[in-house]
Amino acid sequence: MVSKELIAASTRPLVLAVLSKGENYGYAIIQQVRELSGGRLEWSEGMLYPVLHRLEQEKLIVGHWSKPENGRKRKYYRLSAAGARAMQTERQQWFAVHETLATLWGVKLCST
């Protein structure tokens, strides 16, 4: 299980990364992260939404409500151009941390 602090710090890049694969809504984003992490990243689900709204306020993502035919109404979010740039920055930072730790712990890295 990943610690609360690390969860909090990684929510933002995770959300940006999931949305970079295409537009999505809260519940599905959580499911996707849970599956990809093999259950090791367990979010307190309600916490995702304030993060989404923060990103929306920063214009990194764009949200809109839609209600499919005989489906459930949902608020979908997609990455904006600024969001894509922000994700690149996050990516570099996470790799910097990751590479440092990997070197210290003697893990062989494939060249990126």
Partner 1 sequence: MFNLESKIQDWKQGVRQAESVTLENVDELEEHLRESIGSFVEKGLSEEEAFLVASTRLGANSSLSQEYGKINGTTVWRRRFVWMLFGYLGITALVAAMSSIGAAISTLTALLGQDGLAASGAGIIAALIGWATTIYVTYFLVRQRNAAWVEDLLSAKWLAALVVVVVVVAPAIKLVGLMAHARFVPADEVGVSMWWTSVGGAIQQGCLLVACMAMILMFRERLSATAGTKWC
Closest approach, Cβ 15 to partner 1, in A, equals 14
Q: Which is nearer to partner 1, 64 or 98 (CB)?
A: 64
CA 80 – CA 86 distance, rounded (Å) = 10
Query: DSSP readout, 3-67?
Result: -HHHHHHHHHHHHHHHHTTS-EEHHHHHHHHHHHTTT-----GGGHHHHHHHHHHTTSEEEEEE-
Q: Which residue shows structure tokens 């690390």?
A: 6
Per-residue binder mask for partner 1 (CB under 8 A), 57-96, x = binder: x-------x-x----xxxx---------------------
Closest approach, Cβ 81 to partner 1, in A, equals 22
- Residue list 28-57, contact with partner 1 (CB under 8 A): 44-47, 49-50, 53-54, 57
Phi/psi of residue 10, nearest 5 degrees: -95, -5
**In this chain, which of 14, 17, 24, 26 binds partner 1, going by CB under 8 A?**
26
CA 107 – CA 112 distance, rounded (Å) = 14
Q: Which is nearer to partner 1, 65 or 105 (CB)?
A: 65
* Residues near partner 1 (CB under 8 A): 26-27, 44-47, 49-50, 53-54, 57, 65, 67, 72-75
